[in-house]
A and B are shown apart, each in its own frame.
Chain A
Amino acid sequence: MSIKTVEDLKQMYRKGIKRKVLILLSLFFSIIVVALISISLGAGSPRLKEAVEVILSKVFPSLNIGSVSETVRVIVWDLRLPRVLLAVVAGAGLAASGATMQGVLRNPLVSSYILGVSAAAGFGAALATVFKIGIIVGYGKYLIITNAFVFSMLSMLMVYGIARLRGITAETIILAGVAVGYLFSALLSLIQYVAPQHEAVRAIVFWLMGGLHVATWESIIIVSPIVLLTIILMVQQAWNINVTCTGEDVAISLGVNPKRVLVLTMVLESLATASIIAFTGVIGFVCLISPHISRMLIGTDNRFLIPCSALMGGLLLLCSDTVGRLILMPAEVPVGIITALLGVPFFLYILLSRKRRIWQ
C-alpha cells in the first residue's frame, strides 16, 4: 500500500489522457476505413481504389484522375458516399445525445428518445403521410421531414413545460418525457387505425423502422452542421455534465446550476435527434448502447465519453447499415433491425467480459 507521490499521480493522469485520445483516434480511423470498404461493397461493386479515386477527384478537381467510368462515379459519389456519411452523422448525433442525457439524468436506461421525441416525430410524419397536414408548408417528403422535426421539438417543449411546473429535476424530466412519449404514440396509433389507405399505414410502419436509404447530399448538408454543432456544444458542457452526474445539491455546491445544464442539454439533444430522425425515421438502440460501450472503454469523464460515444455510434450505425444493405441483396433490411441484431451480442460480450459493474 504505497502512497503515491504527486509526480506518480500526475504521470498516471497524463497517461490516462493519452490512452483516451488514442482510443478516439483509432475509432476515427476505423470509421474512415469501414466507410471506404462500405462504399466499395454492393451492387455495381466499384473497387476500393476506384472509390478513393472518385472521391479524390471530386474533392480536388484540379487533380486529374479520370480513368473511372461514369456509372461507377454516380454509384460512389451520388449513392454510396451520402449514405455512408449519413450513417456516420446520424449514429454520431444519436449516440452523443444518448450519452449526454444519460449523464445529466443520471440514468443508464435513458436514450436520446427519453423526451418523447421519437413518438412525436412519428406522429408528425404520420400526419403528413396520411392527411397531408403540415405545420410548415411543404410538399411530399419535405412535408414529412418538417412535420417530424416540428413535432419532435414540440414534445421537448411539452416535457420542459410539464417539468417546469413541478421543478426541473432529473426525475420530473424522465417522468414527463415518458408521459409525453405515450401521448404521442397513442395519437400515432390512432392515425394508423383510422387511416383510410393501407399504403399509407405501410409507409408509416416503414418510416418508424428507420433507414438510411433516404440519404442524399441535400440531407447531409442540412443534418451534418446541426449535428456537428450540437456535439461540440455538448462536449463544451462536459464538466457541467460531470458535476451534474454527482447529484443536484452537490452540483450547486460546486458552482453549477443543474437546472440550466438540464435545459441546455435538453435543447441540444432534441435539436440533434429531431434533425436526424426527421430524415432517417426512428433509428433506435444506437443511442442507448453506444454510450455504455464507450463508458466501458474510456470511462465516465464526459469530456471523452461524449466524443467517444459519437464515434462509436457512427461506427456501429455504419457497420449495421452496410450489413443491412448486403445481407439480403438486392433487398434491404432496415438498419434498426440490424443494429439490434449486431449490437446486442457485441454489447453483451463487452458487458460479460468486464468484471466491473457498469453502474451502481
Chain B
Amino acid sequence: MKLVINNVTFSYKSTPALKGVCFELNKGEILGLVGPNGSGKSTLLKCIDGILKPHCGAVFVDDKSISNMSLKEISKLMGYVPQNVSSTSFPFTVFDMVLAGRKPYIGWSVKDEDVSVVTNILNYMGIGHLATRYFSELSGGEQQKVIIARALAQLPQILLLDEPTSNLDIRHQLEVLQMLHHLCKEMGLSVVAAMHDLNLASRFSDKIIMLKDGCIFAAGAPEEVITVENIMAVYGVKAHVSLTGNGRPQVIPIEPIDVKSLQEIPYKISYALGK
C-alpha cells in the first residue's frame, strides 16, 4: 500500500491553507506532520481522507486516485482520528462507539464477525474491560484509545491521526505512540500523524514533514528536519537540539525570537487594565 500526495492545494474561501503539497509514504511507515498552529496539518489530513476536496492535485493509494473512489471505498482504506474526540452529544457505550467503525462493512444487522473484530481490537488496545462503559465517562487517554479503536475497526491500511497525543499524560502518550509503532511494524499499517510535540514526533516517526503556511518547509528523516535552523525559521523559536542515544534529535525550546514585541506585552497589559 503506497500513499502518494501530489500537488495538493486547498483554500478555505479565499484563505489558502495548502499550497502544492507533495509526498509519498510506503507501507509500514510512520509520517510525522509538524508545524505551527494554522500551518495546514489538519487540512492536509482531511484532504488525504477525502473529507475536504483539494482544489487541485490528487491523493493516490496504490496509483488509484481517491477522487474516483466512493466514500465507502475510501473508508475501507483509511481510518481517521479527529483532533477533538468528545464531539458526540448522546451517551454511546464504548462498544457501540467502536462498532460504528464497522459501518463500511455493515448492512443493517451486526454480524458475529463485526462483534469479533471490535472485541479483538478493544483487547488489543487494552480497553476490553471498558466495553460497556459510557464513552463520556472515560478519561481523556481512554477516550483517545476508543477513537483510535474505532478507526482500526474499519480495518484500514492507512491511519490518519490529528494530534493523537495532545490531551494525554506522558504515560498515555507513550502507550498510544508505541501502539501505533507496533501497528506499523507488525501489521504493515501506514500512519500519518499530525503532532505538536517535536520530541515525540522525532522519536516515533520514520519521516517528518515540517509545514509552514501550507507549504512543505522541510521533509526527510527526523535528524534532517528537526534542526535548530528549521525550528527558528518555522516556529520563530530559539532552541537547543541534541541527539539521543538512538540518533533521534531532541529539542529543548529556549525562547521565542522577535523579542521586541514581547517586551511590549507588560506595557500592553497594563494599558488594557487602565493603569
Q: List the one stretch of B131-139, B170-178, B184-192 in contact with chain A.
A: B131-139
A103–B90 touching, CB < 8 Å: yes
Q: Tell me whether B96 and A247 are in contact (CB under 8 A).
A: no
Q: Scoring B residues 101 to 121 as 1 if CB is less than 8 Å from chain A, else 0, what string do you get?
A: 101101010101001101110
A300 to B134, CA, bound (A): 11
Mark out the residues of chain A between 224 and 271 whose CB falls within 8 Å of any chain B CB in the assembled complex.
Answer: 236, 238-239, 242-243, 245-247, 249-250, 252-257
Identify which of residues 80-134 in chain B touch chain A, using a CB-to-CB cut-off of 8 Å.
80, 82, 86-93, 95-97, 100-101, 103-104, 106, 108, 110, 112, 115-116, 118-120, 122-123, 126, 128-129, 131-132, 134
Q: Does A325 contact B (CB under 8 A)?
A: no
Known A300-B91, A360-B86: A243·B100 in contact at CB below 8 Å: yes
Tell whether A246 pairs with B123 under 8 Å between CB atoms, given A13-B95, A357-B91. no
A252 touches B51 (CB 8 A): yes
Residues of B within 8 A of A295 (CB): 90-91
Q: Hey, which chain A residues are within 8 Å of B248, CB to CB?
A: none
Query: Are the C-beta atoms of A257 and B71 separated by less than 8 Å?
Result: yes
Let me know if A253 and B51 touch, CB within 8 A: yes
A253 to B147: give the CA distance in the assembly, Å.
Answer: 12
Query: Which A residues are CB-close (under 8 A) to B91?
Result: 295, 299-300, 356-360
By size class, the interface of chain B is 35 or more
CB of B154 within 8 A of chain A? yes
Interface size class for chain A? Answer: 35 or more
Set of chain B residues within 8 Å of A249, measured between Cβ atoms: 46, 51, 80, 82
Tell me which of A107, A108, A236, A243 contacts B108 (CB under 8 A).
Answer: A236
A254 touching B75 in the complex, CB below 8 Å, given contacts A3-B123, A108-B89, A356-B91: yes
Contact A253 B49 (CB under 8 A): yes
Flag whether B79 is at the interface (Cβ < 8 A).
Answer: yes
Q: Which of the listed residues A9, A257, A357 has the most CB atoms from chain B within 10 Å of its own CB?
A: A9
Whether A360 contacts B103 in the complex (CB less than 8 A), given A6-B116, A10-B116, A249-B46, comes out as no
Q: Are B92 and A300 in contact (CB under 8 A)?
A: yes
B74 is an interface residue with CB less than 8 A from chain A: yes
Residue ranges of A at the interface with B (Cβ–Cβ < 8 Å) = 1-6, 9-10, 12-13, 102-103, 106-108, 236, 238-239, 242-243, 245-247, 249-250, 252-257, 295, 299-301, 303, 356-360
Listed from nearest, the 3 A-B pairs whose CB atoms lie closest are A255-B75, A253-B80, A255-B72
